[in-house]
Chains A and B, each alone.
Chain A
């Protein structure tokens, strides 16, 4: 499971960065989204991967601390998702405004045909 997750994070980060460096604003926003998925997965992974472990401690259950999942990364990833979502929406608005003002979706607003 660790290997699959690590590969997933790596592939997502790689594709995110590649898209980020493209000259079209749509590719940039896709790159940013994919990069933020990779970061969210990484945040999730720092709590260690465990199956069947609950984050909320029950009052009566006599389990050791290691039997519970770490709740902090889950809270972090939730916050990160919300913020990332809002920022992507905001970037989308600016992207549309730029498209409207310059008539092109090049990041610098240039109308180059050789890109």
Chain B
């Protein structure tokens, strides 16, 4: 378990003070995948780098399994870092070393013997699917393969935590998918807690259990991924979500509607109920579905529909009231002109 307590990070450059992280408190549970989203400069990278003390917080404390890492001596900090793996957007492999040697480097840092290193490195290569590339140099690998080496290196010493610094941002969509599913299986099978930062909401939607949104060094919203996707509170969160779930009608299309346009959102089990068909049975309105989509977030459905309701004004109002009684999220996009 990682406890971040009132962490602030201030950078001093040329007499100016720049606040990287502002008074952030956060608890990340053991075994979960936690995503931190934000634009570049939001402070998410600084915050992540505080977790293995690549950056020393200006104030505040970080506890990993109850141990305050900000108070560790040099030697103890190195030992602690063996237990915290980290992967990077640009991989940062040693270009003069082969794939095998890059992974072996991490084991050497842990003081393993030659035999132990040999065995464990082969095991890791197998896990990330690079047995055939072990004697190649990083320059000969594709981006996805480089990140797999990065993952193998990070997992070498059986860490309890894996930090991912924009790990898929330099990869194409297909490779991103493959790397994400590798991370997901690592989390599931090895029980490793994963903390990732990204500006891609897709990544969060794909693998995270819980998330936080950062802006100007502060966490503005955090919680369960599904809840936040279904019910974003902050403007920025909404913007991020709309980047994956595009649910706006083109303006000209909306203009030409004669009836009332509503946007309804179904969450979880209710998405599987027959609310829409009941609506048309019980009320004298005609419906016209303009847009609809069901997204699965962590295997739970989230449905969004945009409908035009045409009919007698009073009847439409009653129909809307009926839906409002059944589900939480109804938004009237356009009233009758």
A binds B: no
